[in-house]
Structure 1
Amino acid sequence: MTEHRDIQQWELGEGPYFEPATNTLRFVDILKKQLHTVSLTEGLSSLKTTQFDERVTVTADIEGRDPQKAVVIGAKQGLAVLDRTTGKYEYLAKFDDANALRIRSNDGAVDPNGRFWLGTMTDFDLGPFQPEGTLYLFPHPPSPSPPTPFLTGLTIPNTVGFSPDARTLYFTHSSARTLLAFDYDPATGAATNQRTFYTHGGAGEPDGFRVDTHGNLWQAVYGEGVVLKISPAGEVVGVVRVGTRNCTCVEFVGGGRMVVTTAGDGDGEGEGESRRFGGGVFMVDVGAEGTGRWGFKL
């Protein structure tokens, strides 16, 4: 059950990431070009915001670095390191794309090898989304050379995640309403045997997900106001209903709790409660814990 109360709203909350050492949550607002950090102990009064001059879409820890001081970020042009003490960032590598001015990064994640998987898509200011996106793989150590394209012709590439044994890689292609699965070799980083893991039949689109310790995927569905619990067999075995339509992503924050980020449900796109709570960040007790995260290797 989600407690409904007056909450801070963001335009496009995304990319929630839990920092257990400090019990803090960080997340982005892609449209407002912001990174937010809030203490789950202190609440909203502890909110800190970093403003950028271009879109930042996802973050990850850096192996061996204090995430309160530095993290890696997916930004408009590629993968960068953010100094959180100064708010300045420096690109490690940029996308090699003929449509570089048209695209931006979207969601992504670090794999067990310490490499970063990061998707691209048409930027918001450039009309309807086109099938010009790519899922890239940034190696470690980082190279100034362009990253390796893994999948091309994508419209809205979204979350990358791994099974608890790291033997399966999952990837959401939101616009196709499909979650793909690949056999993954943790030793070499090879992803093979592409197959459809889950196809969504509802009106909304699957957005971001996280995997729990039992191998279930908790999949936010944009446009339906729900998070689906999908078993390792690809079957929906549970539903969390959120008080606004546009769920974007989830994150486990310990104690069986899960955070859900959302996007605004503006004029003409919703009524009543959905509009009121659109863009809020929700917390719900689901009795599950997330699998561990890996840091990007510099």
Structure 2
Amino acid sequence: MPWTAVTTEPSQLGESPFWHPGERRLYWVDIDGRQVSRVDPASGRVEHWPMPTEPGCIAPVRGGGLVVALRAGIFMAREWGGTLEPVAQLPFDPATERANDGKCDALGRFWVGSMHEPKAGPRQPVAALYCVDARGAGPATVRRMLGGVATANGLAWSPGGETLYWCDTPTHEIRTWRCDAALEPQGEPQVLKRYAPKPAGWQPGAAVQPGQAAYGGRPDGGTVDAEGAYWSAAYEGGRVLRLSPTGEVLADVALPVRCPTMPCLGGDDGRTLFVTSARQGRPAQELAELPGSGCIFSLQVEVPGLPVAFFDPGRR
């Protein structure tokens, strides 16, 4: 079955999609476009909510509303388009770092990865993965769970919560982290799958050019289905992979865009695979050949996903 375009108005950098079961809408962010968006697939109606800075990721809130990781801080709004109330600050310099990929765990904590974004030069491994816990009546706590990353991405949990998946995109590695019964990571993360590095001289485009080596991309956002398989978007690879808990490739599905960014599973039966994508910074020839770049695409799959986890705002 071919991919279906869910949106036709492209995002610059679409990310952080989730299916809201109560509203039957798909939510996502456009990081570079500085907005949160949602679409009703049944009607095709799309709504946009401008943000003051780049929204790295979002999650629904128990009791209604959204939690949003902006460039340096975590904010919450009780309704669509509502006032953004501060929840916590992330401990880094927003001039060179911003919030990136993230989602909530089953306990209602908001895990947010950051990325190094220098004004000049390559990204350095100075970013981190944080856990924001707002449960209870006191101030939210922010814990630095790991550091030494350039672009934290791919966050997801196995169905029972015993495994946390994540990746540092520039390393081309997807990693797993064993968790205890309280969903606390234990020991050191292990490599699940290592993507092949970008070949020397590789040039972006819709297809491999004559004499040019193929490139399978590098891991971006991810999600887990009900069988425990991990779906990973291969940025610049034009595909999504479905991996077993041991790293075996179960499916390799090509997309009509070069830069998919993050998959999620939703729809009424949980069997619709949605994938966001990017167009910012892409060459003109690629955008001409792949005009859907930046749009969201969907595909029907056999195994349903897991329900989205909601943020617990405590007594706020």
In the superposition, the TM-score normalised over structure 1's length comes to: 0.90
Distance 1:213 1:4 in 2: 24
Instruction: Indicate the SS of the match to 1:277.
Output: coil
Partner of 2:202: none
Partner of 2:207: none
Identity value in percent? 27
Question: Do 2:71 and 2:94's aligned partners in 1 also have CA atoms closer than 8 Å?
Answer: no
Distance 1:269 1:135 in 2: 35
Instruction: Indicate the SS of the match to 2:170.
Output: helix
Measured after TM superposition, the shift of residue 128 of structure 1 is 3.3
Distance 1:198 1:90 in 2: 39
Distance 1:80 1:283 in 2: 29
Aligned partner letter, 2:293: G
Partner of 2:210: none
Question: Do 2:134 and 2:140's aligned partners in 1 also have CA atoms closer than 8 Å?
Answer: no
Structure 1 counterpart of 2:124, from 124, 130, 134:
130
Measured after TM superposition, the shift of residue 269 of structure 1 is 6.0
Partner of 2:234: 221
Measured after TM superposition, the shift of residue 141 of structure 1 is 2.1
Structure 2 counterpart of 1:289, from 304, 308, 311:
304
Distance 2:135 2:75 in 1: 13
Return closer, same or farther for 1:126/1:58 CA change in 2, 3 Å cut-off.
farther
Measured after TM superposition, the shift of residue 273 of structure 1 is 3.2
Question: Do 2:6 and 2:297's aligned partners in 1 also have CA atoms closer than 8 Å?
Answer: no
Partner of 2:100: 106
What is the number of residues matched between the two proteins? 290
Measured after TM superposition, the shift of residue 224 of structure 1 is 0.9
Considering fraction of residues, name the structure with more strand.
1
Partner of 1:37: 38
Distance 1:182 1:269 in 2: 40
Partner of 1:163: 158
Measured after TM superposition, the shift of residue 133 of structure 1 is 0.7
Instruction: Indicate the SS of the match to 2:27.
Output: strand
Matches within 5 A, 1:35-114: 35-43=36-44, 46-63=45-62, 65-66=63-64, 70-97=65-92, 99-114=93-108
CA RMSD of aligned residues (A): 2.2
Return closer, same or farther for 1:249/1:86 CA change in 2, 3 Å cut-off.
closer
Instruction: Indicate the SS of the match to 1:22.
Output: coil
Question: Do 1:109 and 1:159's aligned partners in 2 also have CA atoms closer than 8 Å?
Answer: no
Distance 1:173 1:72 in 2: 23
Deviations 1:258-288 (A, max 9, x none): 11100016334626432x1110110111222
Measured after TM superposition, the shift of residue 4 of structure 1 is 6.2
Aligned partner letter, 1:118: V
Question: Do 1:133 and 1:157's aligned partners in 2 also have CA atoms closer than 8 Å?
Answer: yes
Which moved further from structure 2: 163-172 or 190-199?
Answer: 190-199
Matches within 5 A, 1:145-294: 147-187=142-182, 189-201=184-196, 203=215, 204-254=217-267, 255=269, 256-264=271-279, 266-268=282-284, 270=286, 272-274=288-290, 276-294=291-309
Question: Do 2:130 and 2:144's aligned partners in 1 also have CA atoms closer than 8 Å?
Answer: yes
Unaligned runs of 5+ in 2: 198-214
Return closer, same or farther for 1:286/1:131 CA change in 2, 3 Å cut-off.
same
Partner of 1:16: 17
Partner of 1:25: 26
Distance 1:126 1:102 in 2: 10
Instruction: Indicate the SS of the match to 1:48.
Output: strand
Aligned partner letter, 1:50: W
Measured after TM superposition, the shift of residue 81 of structure 1 is 0.5
Question: Do 1:183 and 1:192's aligned partners in 2 also have CA atoms closer than 8 Å?
Answer: yes
